[in-house]
Amino acid sequence: MPDDYQEPNEPTAEQETEARSRAAFCSALARQFHDRYEEIAPLYGYKTREDTKDFDPESPNGQLMQAVCLQVVGPIIARLQAIATMPEYDQDDAHRLRGMARRFLSQNSVISKHP
């Protein structure tokens, strides 16, 4: 084991609550993505699979969709949670939030081209 190895700290109750909140949000977001996907697929001439028409969060497909949402949106939610629960809000927080928005938008060239 490397000399600089440190045992991970156990998460606090607050951190666990925030993580559960992010996971719940992402689960709801995954359901919304699924429902919209099913709704608009025919507009693009695409026929979705019959066995996945209904969103099942316990299925491999549902778990994958939730995991993807958590990886994409989870860090954004975590930052927003941290900012939302701050007792005070200062200019540095505004810069961090703006930086987060810019990083998020820069991942999509179509979105980032619009002011």
Residues 43 and 68 in one domain: yes
CA distances from 95 to 1, 44, 45, 65, 91 (A): 38, 40, 43, 31, 6
Reported pTM: 0.61
Domain tally for the chain?
2
Residue with tokens 């081209």: 113
CA distance 15 to 104: 23
Domain span at residue 108 reads: 89-115
How does pLDDT run across 53-75, given as a tens digit for each residue? 899 999 998 999 999 988 888 88
Distance CA(38)–CA(60), nearest Å, equals 17
Return d(Cα 78, Cα 37) in angstroms, integer.
26
For residues 71 and 28, membership in a common domain is answered with yes
- Per residue in 77-108, pLDDT (tens digit) is 887 777 777 777 677 777 777 787 777 777 65
Residue 29 falls within a domain, yes or no? yes
